[in-house]
Amino acid sequence: MTSIIFRTATRYMFPPLLVFSVYVLLRGHHYPGGGFVGGLFAGSAFALYALAFSVADARKVLRADPRDVTAVGLALALLSGIPPLFSKEAFLTGTWWTLPLPAGGTLDIGTPLFFDIGVYFVVLGVLLTLVFTLGEEE
Amino acid sequence: MIRELLVAFFLLSGGALSLVAAAGVIRMPDLFTRMHAATKTGTVGVSAITIGMIIHFSEVTVTSRGILVIAFFLLTAPVAAHMIGRAAYRSGVQLWILTRIDEWKSHGKNEPDEEA
Amino acid sequence: MQLFITNVLISMLWALLTGRVTVGNLAVGFALGYLALTLMYSNAVEKSSYFQKTVQLIRFTLIFFKELIVSSWRVAVDVVKPLPLMRPGVIGIPLDAETDLEITLLANVISLTPGTLSLDVSKDRKTLYIHAMYVVNPDDLRAEIKDGLERRLLELLR
Amino acid sequence: MRGLQLFSMWILLAICFIAALSAPFVHRIIPKYTGAALVSAPLAMVVWLLSKIPEVGNGHAITQSFQWVEKLGLEVAFRLDGLSLLFALIISGIGALVVLYTQGYFKGHPQQGRFMMYIIAFMGSMLGVVLADHILLVFIFWELTSFTSYLLIGFNHESADARNAALQAMLVTVLGGLFLMAGLVLMGDAAGTWRLSEIVQRGHEITEHKNYLAILILVCIGAFTKSAQFPFHFWLPNAMQAPTPASAYLHSSTMVKAGVYLLARLHPALGHTEEWTLILTTIGTITFLLGAIMALGQHVLKRLLAYTTVSALGAMVMLLGIGTKYTIKAMAAFVLAHAFYKATLFMVAGGITHETGGETSIDKLGGLRKAMPISFGCALLAGLSMGGFPPFFGFVAKETWLHALGDYPLLIVATVVGGAAYVLVGFSTGWKPFMGKMPEGLHAHEVPLTMRLGPIVLGLGGLVLAVFCGPVGHALVQPAAIAIYAKELEVHLHLWPGVNIYFVISIVTLVIGTVCYLARAHFVKGAGKLSLLVRFGPDAVYQAALNGVLKFAAWHTRKLQTGILRDYIRVTVVTTVLLVGAAFVRSGGFQGWENLSPISLRVALFGILMISATFATVHSKSRLRSILSLGVVGFCMALLFTFFGAPDLAMTQLVIETLTVILLALAFYHLPTFRHGSTKRTRVIDIIISISVGVIVTLLVLAALHVQTPTPVSDYYLDHSYKDAHGRNVVNVILVDFRALDTLGEITVLTIAALGAFALLKLKPKKEGAE
Amino acid sequence: MEVVLAIVIGVLYAGGVYLMMRRNLIQLIIGLGLLSHGANLLIFTAGGLRQGGAPILAEGEKAFATTPADPLPQALILTAIVISFAVTAFALVLFLRTYKTVGTDDVDDLKEMQK
Amino acid sequence: MVEFICPIVMLMLTVAFGAAFVRVVIGPTLPDRVVALDMAATIVVALILTHCVQSGSTYYIPAAISIALLSFIGTVALALYIRRGGAS
Amino acid sequence: MIFLPVLPIIIPLAGAVLCMLARRNIAVQKGLALITSVFILLTSLAIFAQTKDGTIAVMNVGSWQAPYGITLAIDMLSSVMLLLVGVLSVGVSVYACFDLDVTRMKFGFFPLMLILLMGVNGAFVTGDLFNLYVWFEVLLTASFILLALGGERAQLAGSIKYVTLNLLSSALFLAGIGILYGMAGTLNLAELAHLVKDGARGDLLTMVAVMFMMAFGIKAGMFPLYFWLPASYPTPPAAVTALFSGLLTKVGVYSMIRMFTLVFDTDPAFLHGLILVGAGLTMVSGVLAAAAQYEMRKILAVHIVSQIGYIVMGLGLFTELALTGTIFYLIHVIIVKTNLFLIAGAVNRLKGSYDLHKLGGLYKEKPGLSILFIISAMSLAGVPPLSGFFAKFTLILAGLRTESWLIVATALGVSLLTLYSMTKIWAYAFWKPAAEPLPDLNPMPKSKWFIFLLPMIGFTVITIALGVFAGPVFDYAADAAAQLMNPQGYIDAVLGGGM
Ligand code: NA
Ligand code: NA
């Protein structure tokens, strides 16, 4: 049991940190950030949670096993390179779709984005695997 | 012009406060007194600089992020100080010899250490 | 809370209407919305919590920032002063704050205000131990904190 | 004979190897008739060879070739000329007899099949050596004989002596083989062809080539090791560890003669020079005498024979070295004679040992004539042939030999000495064990038919050859001699040469030899004095060399692989610094400051801070101080990244720095504090090494900055990032698009690092006693 | 500017190597950390320092008005940082495991196992 | 004016950073070092934000936010480490 | 198949990801690993078929034209290396399925193995310097973990040395990349080669070349940089060591060959002279270390060093024939060395020891295994007509033709000592009777034992085939060497487009 103060602060910081991590991830293509730093932030949020409460609690919040998160992320990154196969282009060729936004603008969605999301999950999973395992070590 | 003056004011006071914090961290006699300097002055110093920056750019995104920086500092700095202070105290870091009173020691002695 | 959300929505609507999404414009919208809401709910029951809290929040914030600045100044002075003039000490403050949030905010505020630094909360959550730079009389200090920061904070939160 | 047209050299060889490989299986199926079945392979060869005698005798060579490794110039090329024919006949003929002998010798032995496999493979390899017409092919078969003889000598592998002898024989012959290979290749390149038949026609090109002496020495070393010439002779007597059929085969007729064969084969290419004569004659004579003298003091049957084999090989080399028409004829005749009597004696010796339950010393043998009459007969025939008594082929050969040495009186004296020894050994092996009284406790009976066949055929063969020495000389010896001499010559062998000086010398030799035999006891005693020669002889040198190499190896390994990480790092780093430094100096060193930008205050300040923080990290007794100072270094890095326009880097650096601290803190909970000091000396050395690293890196960076970049590829990224890759943050676009493959690799590294950390922490081996 | 950074890089490499030659597992890992800082800074410096701002195209613009910092070394360093983080984390766990299994953090003691 | 002020502020911050570093080095206790490093992180934020003003580029703000958040986590982790008895 | 050049990377990765997702079920993991290995082999065969006539298979990943994106370029050398990886992966997978303990499988052996293969393949196909670094790190990290997996004392002690020295090498490699980029402004190997051919980069290139030589030298296990190898290789299970011995150091050598034929052809007297000296010392030092050992696995491990010396010797001599020898040697030694480690593992499985003093009598007990061993051992020692003979002979011939007497003498002497150490193993473990009878620890029934032996039988057959059919192999190696000696084709193929 750690401090009330710390745990309370953590409880209030945890959601914004996760939101911030997604923000960093999604803006990464245009501004500083990206999947890597985003994943680190998300992982840090869970690490903070594990420090304040316990690794077991943090695992409960995450629900999935971090190693599965990693594997899924890696799979996503790998798969994002496959679509060009169907248009006879090289592996990892960026494929973009422009979506109209309700407010009138447009949004570019492309395979590099999915790649970055894959990176995000890998980093998240990796960091948590490390932190949780080290935290659980006797 | 006023904006520039404001920016300059906030930046300079931020810098000055940081210097003060630095001086405190160097000069204060024990951990706890040093923490006073580091926590308060450091936080105010960086907040001042953040405000200076907000005024300098006067953009929504910069402002929101600037506020975020300040908010985070105000939330985390004391918590961090608390965590270190308590850890240091419990692990037996000595108070300055001129410390007058230690009620925690006298009252809190019987309190079982949660993690022991 | 509903009123606050309504207020935020009004400020956003204002920004959209004026077509400029800037801090200033949002603030203006918020202020206008607040005024409008004050008028709307001048007699309603819900009024008390939202509008009263607003006043308390503003007051608390002002006091807090004043203290913050003062505290920085005090440290600045302390840093320059000869060391033996300090009278540091660790004292316990009996808590009225009960919830986690109350205790946490109080501890944080105490840490950020002059001369005091929260160290820990006792296990029974009844006492907050703080480190103070100038302990001339521990009881005076205790009273000062309880009447000043704690009372105001609890007023705001409850 | 028409049916034989189907066969050709490579098919016959292939049959040999197939027979070898199938031997264990054949043995499993028909254990009693293994030899009978397998002998068909060498017999086929013998028959085929015999059928070619007329053609080859007329000076025609039979050739056959196809490509193997074309670009390397390696062909599978065979050529049967007189020399090849003589050797191939000996090899396959005696081979066939040995295979049968083996059947009897190893009767009921569970690993008879295995032995058959080795011996037939060995025979095939030997045949390959003498039939190959390509230097590489010669070498390939040559090495195969070394390898198969290794297996043969070490056949009784549960005995340490057998293993050591096998190793010794292999190391010596392979060592020679390596020299030989170098020599052959140089020779081939000097001649411009790797075909032996073409090389021997270009003798002048080789003897006048600048590498001639090197080629000659290399080839000689190769041949000498194989043919047990001084000073490489020592392995041969030791190789007596091999089971008798192997000894008989390896040491009488075949493997050891590979060297002689090769020298003979290359005589047209390398011979006719002073160097050739000097080297071969000297070494040959020394070996001839040494082997003969060493034989005098022996009492173990097989060792007696082995030393005389050494001696005989020396004689062949000596004769070849002189290189006259006559000596070459003599040599060819002697090869034939030696093969017959020596193989017989080995086989009989094996039979004696076999039937007496393992007795090997002639001093403990006697009176076997009744128990083993046939063996006795054969041994006597061979022993007399060996001694050079008429009317055996040994005598015929010796006569030719003495004739040939007419101009070399010293060598005649040597021949008399050696010949006397042969007489002694001939009696010792062909007479002594059978005559006199049978020692008590010795039981023996005649060897089985399979083991009798070889001695009978070969023992009688010595007589038959002598009787038909005229035709034999014409059909077998003459073509071989022509091939060696590379010019026309005629061979006339006579059983009765008439009384002349050489005949007298011959008789004198026989008398001396007989007297010596009667006084044998003195020689055996005298052999004790020769122990000095043994102790400091080549065998000892071999042991010393091997031990020396092993000792050096152990020392080298101890010194280099200390097990201390610091030593490894030191060597690695110092090597790197020295070599990079050398390259730096070589490339003109530091070249100027022109391209450097002026120093700004804040960079200077942070530089100083970073350096101080690094010092604090390095020089710290507290590991946390070290870690936190490293954190300061990281902060400074992030700030530098900020100052030079790298926000992504700054952000990542900061996050990573903090996370590293967290991980370290989590892990440090379990780790103890620093407490292992180093000595001052160590520290000083380490500091010097470290500083040199720092200096070289600094210089490298400065030197590299001096080189102007033309247009870096990154300009492309700046232009196309938004346009083609839909991203404004160029760094991010590089990471997820332009160079996404790097990132894919990077996240793979991350993934497995986590996987590994997990496995390491969770997978705990069963408790080993902690210190 | 580069001179300062070149010296810093040299010091980082020197410090890293020195620490790696100490006897303690933790010093070893800190040494690796310094070395990786050195390598990153080296790429950054050798890649050319341009004070032209971040290689991020401002909102609304189609091309860079002035040449910004070279983005490629930055991307390379990013990759290198991540990789070295992964490796460091693993090495840390490895050392921890070693300490717990072997019972020493003295690198010199590990030589016994060579035999 | 801002161009003129920024270097001065930066210098001040750098000095403060240096002071924090000195405390990291001299300690004497681990909590002292941790507090000093935490302060150094705060000053890094200030430095980065000042650089934003100086260079007119807002791209560095996320870096500042990152350090604000993560230095907290780091400090807390170290505090917990101290709590577990690693103060020496 | 437009994806072909990248398949050697993504197939193992996909297999690894699936294995990770199936981490609870070992049977599924085994199946996945085997299937993936077979696919790796098939892919490499397809690539081999495409490149065997000298075509360079090029793929610009992400469709960014060279030199801007990462280009994968597969020439004949890469292609044959990929093929070897494919063959090895199948063999080692089968072996591992039988030999490895369940705990190691549970804790990620198969994904790690596949990722190791991914890294190795990546290094072989990439045409980009930094990408090469990334693959190096991938394979190194995987190897770190495979090495330490199991956490036994010796493993850990070895791992620390391995990790440390290899990271030192990475720092050096990275520094080299940084400086080279600073000087040339590109990371694409072909572009670098192109710039160097223009002569614009000056003498400093020699210095950078030496840095790369050292970085790759550490990874390749050259003297005096090889210490990590004997410290670590003899510690993990046989399947792992076999994989390592076959592939890891070879990646270092491959990279050295690639860089020193394509990019660094400045100052050959100095650079190739240095390589030659290194090669000689490496051979000698490795073989001496082997002579001093009495532990089967350690002998084999330090022999890797010695073999590296031979491989590098060809690069040092730097003629077409010499490179042919190098390539032949690579092909030969990867197969043979892997096989020897697998056989050593089988011995250990039977007798529970690698100690030559303890072992014995195997020739009597397990003639089949003995024959597999002696063939491979003799091949390694260079006994004709096995693969090792042609490999060594070609190198020595190249040495003789360039009149590099010293290196030829060294190579010959070392080959004798190699023979000595191989016969030492043979004499001690197989011929000699065991000092005290060792129990048969092998619980496998005969049919299973045969399947277990299958990879070894396969590799042995390959060794023999490489000798008997040396012609085509040599032709291939010679063509590959010619391609390396004339890098313009590579440069044109990469910079001239591709897909
Ligand atoms: Na903070
Ligand atoms: Na540049």
- Domain-located, residue G385: yes
pLDDT tens digits for range F5-49: 999 999 999 999 999 999 999 878 889 999 999 999 999 999 999
Helix axes G296-317, G320-351, angle to 10 degrees: 170
CATH code that applies to domain E2-48+70-114:
1.10.287.3510
Chain A partners within 8 Å of C107 (Cβ): 5
Mark out the alpha helices in G292-361 (DSSP H runs): 296-317, 320-351
> How far is the CA of G88 from the CAs of D350, G85, G172, G345, G480, in angstroms?
49, 5, 30, 16, 21
Q: How many Cβ atoms from other residues are within 10 Å of residue G493's Cβ?
A: 21
In this predicted structure, what is the pLDDT of residue G498?
Answer: 46
Q: Using the mean position of ligand 1's atoms as its centre, give its distance from the Cα of residue D664 in Å.
A: 19
> Which chain C residue has the Cα nearest residue B43?
C112
Tens of pLDDT along A40-95? 999 999 999 998 998 999 999 888 899 999 999 999 999 998 888 888 888 888 88
> What's the total number of domains in chain G?
1
Q: What is the pLDDT of residue C90?
A: 85
CA of B71 to the centre of ligand 1 (A): 11
How many beta-carbon contacts under 8 Å exist across B and F?
A: 175
Tell me whether F28 touches chain B (CB under 8 Å).
Answer: no
For chain E, what percentages of helix, strand and coil (3-state, to nearest 5) are there?
70, 5, 25
Candidate CATH numbers 3.40.50, 1.10.10, 3.40.1620, 1.10.287; the one for domain B2-107: 1.10.287
Average pLDDT over residues E54-77: 87
pLDDT at E115: 45
Query: Residue G95: CA atoms inside 13 Å, Cβ hemisphere, count?
Result: 31
Q: Do D553 and G291 touch (CB under 8 A)?
A: yes
Question: How far is the centre of ligand 1, averaged over its atoms, from the C-alpha of C75 (Å)?
Answer: 18
- Pairwise CB contact (< 8 Å): G167 & E91: yes
- Whole-angstrom Cα distance, residue G484 to residue G193? 12
Closest CA to D306 of D219, D187, D193, D428: D428
Q: Compute the distance from residue D710 Cα to the ligand 2 centre, in Å.
A: 8
Strand B101-102 relative to strand C89-94, pairing = parallel
Percent pLDDT > 90 in chain E is: 44
Structure tokens at E98: 């070693």
Question: Which residues, at least 6 apart from D387, have a Cβ–Cβ distance to it below 8 Å?
Answer: D394, D419, D422, D423, D425, D426, D427, D510, D513
Chains touching chain B, criterion 3+ CB pairs below 8 Å:
A, C, F
D103 class by beta-carbon count within 10 Å (0-12 exposed, 13-18 middle, 19+ buried): buried
Q: Which two tokens stand for residue G308?
A: 């590296």
- Segment (H or E) for C127: strand C127-132
Neighbour-count burial for D484-509, b at 16+ CB within 10 Å, e otherwise: bbbeeeebebebebeeeebbebbeeb
Q: Which pLDDT does position B114 carry in this prediction?
A: 46
Contact at CB, A4 and C103, closer than 8 angstroms = yes
Smallest Cα distance from C115 to chain B, Å: 7
Both tokens of A22, joined, read 């997604």
Cβ contacts (< 8 Å) between C126 and chain A: which residues?
Answer: none
Radius of gyration from C-alpha coordinates of chain A: 17
In DSSP terms, which residues pair with G71 in a beta bridge?
A: G60
Nearest C-alpha of chain D: how many angstroms from E99?
7
Residue G302 C-alpha, separation from nearest chain E C-alpha, in angstroms: 13
Considering CB atoms only, which of E2, E23, E58 is closest to D597? E2
Predicted pLDDT at C47? 53
**C-alpha E13 – ligand 1 centre gap (Å):** 30
Query: Residues of chain B with pLDDT > 70: what percent?
Result: 84
DSSP per-residue letters across G218-282: HHHT-TTS-THHHHHTTSS-HHHHHHHHHHHHHHHHHHHHHIIIII--SSHHHHHHHHHHHHHHH
CB-CB neighbors (< 8 A) of E25 in chain G? 160
Contacts of D181 (CB under 8 A, 6+ apart): D139, D222, G393, G396, G412
Residue with structure tokens 């397809």? G46
Question: Three-state SS for F88?
Answer: coil
Would you put residue C125 in left (φ > 0), alpha (ψ -120 to 50) or beta?
Answer: left
| pLDDT at residue A108 in the model | 78
Using CB atoms, list chains with 3+ pairs below 8 Å to chain D: A, E, F, G
Question: Using omega within 30 degrees of 0 as the cis cutoff, is the peptide bond preceding G224 cis?
Answer: yes
- The answer to whether F83 faces chain B, any CB pair under 8 Å, is yes
Interval G375-413: pLDDT, tens: 999 999 988 889 999 999 999 999 999 999 999 999 999
User: What confidence tens digit (pLDDT) does each residue in A84-134 have?
Assistant: 888 888 888 888 888 776 666 677 788 889 999 999 999 999 999 999 998
Whether residues F65 and A20 touch (CB distance < 8 A) is answered with yes
G188 by DSSP, 3-state: which?
strand
CB nearest to G118's CB, from D571, D716, D748: D748
Residue F88: what pLDDT?
Answer: 44
Residues 216-245 of G with CB under 8 A from D: 218, 224-225, 227-228, 230-231
**Cα–Cα distance measured from residue G181 to residue G6, given in angstroms and rounded to the nearest whole number:** 25
Residue D532 confidence (pLDDT): 59
Residue listed under structure tokens 């440390």: G164
Residue C112 CA to ligand 1 centre (angstroms): 13
| Cα(D142)–Cα(D134) distance, integer angstroms | 12
Share of chain D above pLDDT 90, in %: 31
Residues of chain G with pLDDT > 70, as a percent, come to: 98
CA of D631 to the centre of ligand 1 (A): 14
pLDDT digits (tens, 9 = 90+) for E88-107: 999 989 888 888 888 777 77
Q: 3-state SS string over D449-517? A: HHHHHHHHHHHHHHHHHHHCHHHHHHHHHHHHHHHHHCCCCCCCCCCCCCCCHHHHHHHHHHHHHHHHH
**Residues in chain B closer than 8 A to F43 (CB atoms):** 18, 22, 42, 45-46
CATH match of D564-717 with 1.20.120 = yes
A-D Cβ pairs (cutoff 8 Å, strict)? 133
* Strands C127-132 vs B101-102: parallel, antiparallel or unpaired: unpaired
**Domains of chain A: which residue ranges?**
4-136
Q: Is D442 left (phi over 0), alpha (psi -120 to 50) or beta?
A: beta
Nearest C-alpha neighbor of D405 from the set D342, D321, D493: D321
Q: Which residues pair with G59 in a beta bridge?
A: G72
Q: What is the 3 state secondary structure string of D619-674?
A: CCCCHHHHHHHHHHHHHHHHHHHHHCCCHHHHHHHHHHHHHHHHHHHHHHCCCCCC
Distance from CA of E92 to the nearest CA of G (A): 10
Q: What is the pLDDT of residue C53?
A: 73
> Are E96 and A137 inside 8 Å of each other by CB?
yes
The vertex-G439 CA angle with G347 and G290, nearest 5°, equals 35
- Can chain B be said to touch chain F, i.e. do they have 3 or more Cβ pairs within 8 angstroms? yes
Residue D279 contacts by C-beta under 8 Å, 6 or more apart in sequence?
Answer: D216, D217, D220, D321
> Do residue G141 and residue D163 have CB atoms under 8 angstroms apart?
no
Task: Answer for the pair D477, D329: CB distance below 8 angstroms, yes or no.
Answer: yes
Dihedrals phi, psi of A97, to nearest 5 degrees: -125, 140
- All residue ranges of chain D with pLDDT < 70 are 1-6, 252-253, 527-536, 590-595, 674-676, 708-710, 765-771
Of the partner residues E78, E82, E89, the one whose CB lies closest to the CB of residue A130? E89
ipTM for the complex shown = 0.93
Sheet holding B101-102, edge to edge: B101-102, C89-94, C127-132, C116-121
Rounded to the nearest angstrom, the minimum Cα separation between A116 and chain E is: 14
Distance from CA of G169 to the nearest CA of E (A): 11
